[in-house]
Structure 1
């Protein structure tokens, strides 16, 4: 993050697993005070232990009161949240004609309302201090379409729109708002996608994983640490003029 960003308070939602855990580990290694927010305590504790300690705050990102309480608790321990990484998210797949409103609303609540709620909880303190970094973990699905993922793709497009609008509102006030857009990444979420492909098509797990890898020119899954490194740059002092952007980490899949 660079000298100017060392020891800032970073909150990572969905910080117990996958990309969120990788981001927390990298920023912690560079001196940040890290708070991990998530629903399940066990993965949060596991990540906190593996990165050398972090503040754990349990909350469902769709529950505004719980998030507010979690932010207050983390602030009491580490000071105001200066860097927010919205990494919590879910992916549910189905053909459009089989995508009912319950599925749509479930995905929308976590992926869009969760980003909205968590950002609203920390933004006033950022604006008051004149410094803040918000990074939303979106997806290449926020920039292009994928079959059988209409709810997820719509939600990630919404996250990109929210990122751009909030970047304009906060421009010139010391706060930047950006998104990172990973392609298929080697996480538990992708493993779940592999299982669904196997169940639906009869392919082997290796064949299903290869099909996902083939979506980008590198012909491999993205590593969580590669996404984390993009976040590190966005929250560091050298990226102070970068706002409203969607940084694609996808091996050339989206240009």
Structure 2
């Protein structure tokens, strides 16, 4: 009997690439396969391949095809599992593979709808595909999540992935989600594992990610006589020309030249010549990025898609899965040399807020959160500054009233970038505005992730990922007006953004499950903050910084607001901008 004979494997994003390869390898080992994805044609091609394999190995297995299923779509995923349940199909292994590149650009220029879409597919798609699968899973089943090596951290280190802020945020959370589910699924006898395979040979990397990253490097400062906005217009047409034949390339450059000509004017032939040089430079940088990445690997080889599939197949083994439940495998295949980004405390610094306006954006969960906001706002005002409090309309009414009674405050919709922008512009009329402090509030303690409704999950993702991204991006545009389209304006600019939260659970009997649940969202904010700051410092040559404070400690003690205030003192100094450390666990005492 073949190893996975009589087993049913569900693979998301199985029409092409790694997903298709995983499906093929399981079919060769006797499994029946459920394939799904957004596009019908690739899935039909995959089904033909799988049917041929099944006939060859004589496994009598079956293939189910669900086209038009986007893993981020609540209804599509739910209906797929309802259909399987109605037909009496039980799933033995779910492989969370579906993914997208997302926007490949500096965070200030990242379209928020694309940001949210990337998070929706990578993180929410993994969550919803996993929890809905419980309808058709029995003890012994496994959930295997494919993530990325860019979001696995060592002590004091976090791997940034410039131009990929939504990708890193979602993937960081996804790793921690796999861990959290492992705690909650024990009583059901179901295993949850994630794998970070490292760089893999794929069309997405070679034809999309590396070229778009190279194009973004060139957009940031402009190219020859082209402004950043003109380079961006050209890149939309020319990046996809890499590897094409001479005629296709020539026609594409001519099309891009026409688009640039409409906004720039000038000589079409000269613009076409410039764009030819631009395309050559994009290819040069993309190849350099690929080569530099290979030097971080012991054998200098990217993995093949078959090797990734073999890893997934191994993790699906009953004995191996029990040993590795809750783990992220492998821990570190790629040696990615980075400066330290995570610290436990900040230097003691005298407060300096004289004549400064500090905006506090507050999304409080409970009174402890509002007390923290009030403590920090009072700290600013005691030291010569003016505190302006923007309170999320999602904050409980009694907490809104408590804050509003003490400080100049407005209750606003944080999810509306236009509304946030309007109020930030109003704050600039009060005085010199160069600091924004965002308080996320806490992750509710009375929940289990696997039992969440889709609405409750979406609310958490909004609270801790999408809404902070909205407010932070809006603050960046407020601090550097026009910087979204002309990143050259960031050079030398100075401002401070601080995100605080969510807290580690406190108390004498905090369970591993409680900690793991909060880490899903802290795990999104760490790589997000690190990525954004690398873009600001290394790419945009800016003195704008976006720091992250993660309150609470591993021993369950309550956070000390005085330590957060001291960190705020430090963040507004020039010394903080010379350090690579951007995430601070101020209540931890470990060296």
**C-alpha contact 1:22 1:225 (8 A) present in aligned 2:** yes
1:241 paired residue among 313, 316, 323: 323
**C-alpha contact 2:182 2:325 (8 A) present in aligned 1:** yes
**C-alpha contact 1:215 1:253 (8 A) present in aligned 2:** yes
2:313 paired residue among 227, 232, 249: 232
1:98 & 1:120 partners in 2: Cα distance? 34
1:147 paired residue among 156, 162, 166: 162
1:134 paired residue among 143, 157, 162: 143
SS at match of 1:11: strand
Deviation at 1:81, TM superposition (A): 1.6
Matches within 5 A, 1:55-66: 55-58=64-67, 59-66=69-76
2:177 & 2:201 partners in 1: Cα distance? 26
Distance verdict in 2 for CA 1:188–1:75, change over 3 Å: farther
**C-alpha contact 1:222 1:250 (8 A) present in aligned 2:** no
In structure 2, the residue matched to 1:102 is 113
1:64 & 1:84 partners in 2: Cα distance? 17
Deviation at 1:108, TM superposition (A): 0.6
In structure 1, the residue matched to 2:21 is 22
In structure 1, the residue matched to 2:522 is none
2:21 & 2:332 partners in 1: Cα distance? 16
Q: Indicate yes or no: 2:238 matched with 1:222.
A: no
Q: Indicate yes or no: 2:42 matched with 1:43.
A: yes
* TM value normalised by structure 2: 0.40
Deviation at 1:212, TM superposition (A): 4.0
1:70 & 1:254 partners in 2: Cα distance? 40
In structure 2, the residue matched to 1:253 is 335
Which region of structure 1 is more displaced relative to structure 2, 138-147 or 213-222? 213-222
1:132-188 deviation line (CA, Å, top 9, x unaligned): 100111111231322222211111001011101100111253210011112221112
Which contiguous aligned blocks of 4+ residues in structure 1 show a shift greater than 6 angstroms? none
**C-alpha contact 1:75 1:81 (8 A) present in aligned 2:** no
2:170 & 2:291 partners in 1: Cα distance? 26
In structure 1, the residue matched to 2:131 is 120
**C-alpha contact 2:197 2:333 (8 A) present in aligned 1:** no
1:208-243 deviation line (CA, Å, top 9, x unaligned): 543443342322222111111111111112212321
1:30 & 1:156 partners in 2: Cα distance? 29
**C-alpha contact 1:181 1:249 (8 A) present in aligned 2:** yes
SS at match of 1:88: coil
**C-alpha contact 2:196 2:331 (8 A) present in aligned 1:** yes
Deviation at 1:125, TM superposition (A): 3.1
**C-alpha contact 1:135 1:179 (8 A) present in aligned 2:** yes
Deviation at 1:206, TM superposition (A): 4.3
SS at match of 1:79: coil
Deviation at 1:74, TM superposition (A): 4.1
**C-alpha contact 2:98 2:122 (8 A) present in aligned 1:** yes
Question: What value does the CA root-mean-square deviation take over the aligned residues?
Answer: 2.4
Query: Which protein has greater RCO, CA pairs closer than 8 Å, 6+ apart?
Result: 1
SS at match of 1:52: helix
Q: Indicate yes or no: 2:215 matched with 1:199.
A: yes
**C-alpha contact 1:141 1:152 (8 A) present in aligned 2:** no
In structure 1, the residue matched to 2:199 is 184
SS at match of 2:51: coil
SS at match of 1:179: strand
Q: How many residues of Structure 1 are paired with residues of Structure 2 in the alignment?
A: 252
1:245 & 1:99 partners in 2: Cα distance? 32
Distance verdict in 2 for CA 1:228–1:9, change over 3 Å: same
**C-alpha contact 2:106 2:162 (8 A) present in aligned 1:** yes
Which region of structure 1 is more displaced relative to structure 2, 222-231 or 208-217? 208-217
SS at match of 1:131: coil
SS at match of 1:94: coil
SS at match of 1:69: helix
Distance verdict in 2 for CA 1:215–1:107, change over 3 Å: farther
